Amino acid sequence: MSDDVYDDHDDDLDPTDAWLVEASHRLDDTDSDVSRLVARISSSLNRVRRPARALATDMPGVWISDRVVKQLLATQIRTGLGRLVVFASLDGAGDQIHAVRIGLIARYRDDLPVMSDHVRDAVEDVLVRTLGAKVTAQACRAIHVRWQDVYSREWLS
């Protein structure tokens, strides 16, 4: 079928268009190869991905996944402050958090000390709303913010 379409319009195509049409036909033939590659990569992701960590809350018997908290942090910072979170770590042993490390992309003309304070406020708000004030008290006093250059992606000191 694809050859018929190509042949019917052969006179209308310039050499570049003809080459693009031919290339697209060849790319279509690799669907099975691509599918096999995606399946192979997907099957190994479970082995690569770290298991989620259950975090204690102020409510006995209720735990929240660290992945959920990290996603909430990234979403709150992105929507509230307009900055992209590129790193988030909830440091602690077991189901406890004793510190939070957040890495973000800085923009030129950002007042980083002021923005860092806003980020700390957003992180504290998410921690208290999701886990509770009691279990996050130590972590709320130890929120470390680092910034990355928007172009070089190097960490700023």
Does 2 have pLDDT greater than 50?
no
Are 66 and 22 contained in the same domain? Answer: no
Burial (CB count within 10 angstroms: exposed 0-12, middle 13-18, buried 19+), residue 104: buried
Are 100 and 69 contained in the same domain? Answer: yes
Strands 99-105 and 85-91 turn out to be antiparallel
Does 49 have pLDDT greater than 90?
no
Angle between helices 112-130 and 66-81 (to 10 degrees): 140
Does 147 have pLDDT greater than 60?
yes
* Strand partners of residue 63: 56
Specify the pLDDT at position 81: 94
Are 91 and 111 contained in the same domain? Answer: yes
Q: Please tell me whether the overall predicted TM-score, pTM, comes out greater than 0.85 for this model.
A: no
- Asked whether residue 155 is assigned to any structural domain, the reply reads no
State the Cα–Cα distance between residues 57 and 137, nearest whole angstrom: 11
- 148, 156 contact by CB (below 8 A): yes
Are 12 and 66 contained in the same domain? Answer: no
Specify the pLDDT at position 21: 62
- Asked whether residue 153 is assigned to any structural domain, the reply reads no
Host domain of residue 68: 54-148
Average pLDDT over residues 14-20: 60
Are 108 and 43 contained in the same domain? Answer: no
Does 105 have pLDDT greater than 80?
yes
- Asked whether residue 156 is assigned to any structural domain, the reply reads no
Are 134 and 76 contained in the same domain? Answer: yes
- Asked whether residue 21 is assigned to any structural domain, the reply reads yes
